[in-house]
């Protein structure tokens, strides 16, 4: 068993806090993912879908969804005693995308959550992070009843660079979501190291 600093009689360290975005299409499971891992009660800004929004909100494939995130979801998870992630779930509907620039400020990296039944819904998020050079992983949310595809097939369908991790998960399951978040941190660190090497080399 590995003991923490406090258990070894050492003073606790001030944890490093990192900001991670959770993005993707409408109804893909972003709010669920943040809620599954957050050790605090997640802050949610959900509102009921209304008739007025029907002309602009595409609910095909998610007809059972009755609420939508209008600002952000916020949660926190401690991966180690010296590493804390702050999770910011972005709104998925196009009319709220103006908030993405503010939410992405200072982000280490991002998760683009994908639903294989509606992969086209995450193209906008992929494009956004690629244009801004924000490292991201694609988390394929394995919905019940949805066809399962190998990670490489998803990579090709989304036309991703070879170094972008594609990870399978269940947004309701804490352990698989933690694996995706660890994947984001590792990928972001490798991405930063490669950029430093390119500059100094």
From start to end of the chain, where are the E strands?
16-24, 43-48, 67-80, 83-89, 109-114, 136-141, 166-169
Length in residues, the chain: 201
Strand partners, 67: 48
Whether the per-residue pLDDT at 94 is higher than 80: the answer is: no
Looking at per-residue pLDDT, the higher value among 104 and 4 belongs to: 104
Distance CA 160, CA 49 (A): 32
Name the band, by pLDDT with cuts 50, 70 and 90, for residue 93: low
Looking at the whole model, is its pTM more than 0.75?
Answer: yes
Distance CA 42, CA 139 (A): 20
DSSP label at 173? -
Whether the per-residue pLDDT at 51 is higher than 80: the answer is: no
DSSP label at 57? -
Residue with tokens 């991670």: 20
């Amino acid at each position: 068993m590995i003991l923490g600093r406090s258990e070894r009689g050492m003073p606790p360290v001030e944890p490093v806090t990192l900001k991670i975005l959770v993005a993707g299409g409408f109804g893909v499971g972003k709010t669920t993912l943040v809620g599954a891992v957050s050790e605090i009660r997640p802050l949610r800004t959900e509102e009921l879908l209304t008739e007025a929004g029907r002309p602009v909100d595409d609910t095909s494939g998610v007809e059972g969804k009755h609420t939508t995130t209008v600002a952000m979801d916020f949660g926190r998870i401690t991966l180690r005693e010296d590493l804390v992630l702050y999770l910011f779930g972005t709104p998925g509907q196009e009319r709220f995308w103006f908030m993405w620039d503010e939410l992405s400020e200072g982000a280490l990296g991002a998760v683009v959550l994908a639903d294989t039944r509606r992969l086209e819904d995450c193209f906008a998020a992929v494009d956004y992070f690629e244009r801004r050079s924000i490292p991201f992983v694609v988390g394929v949310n394995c919905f019940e009843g949805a066809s399962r595809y190998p990670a490489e097939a998803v990579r090709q369908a989304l036309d991703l660079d070879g170094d972008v991790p594609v990870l399978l998960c269940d947004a309701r399951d804490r352990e698989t979501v933690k694996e995706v978040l660890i994947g984001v941190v590792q990928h972001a660190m490798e991405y930063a190291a490669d950029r430093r090497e390119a500059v100094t080399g």
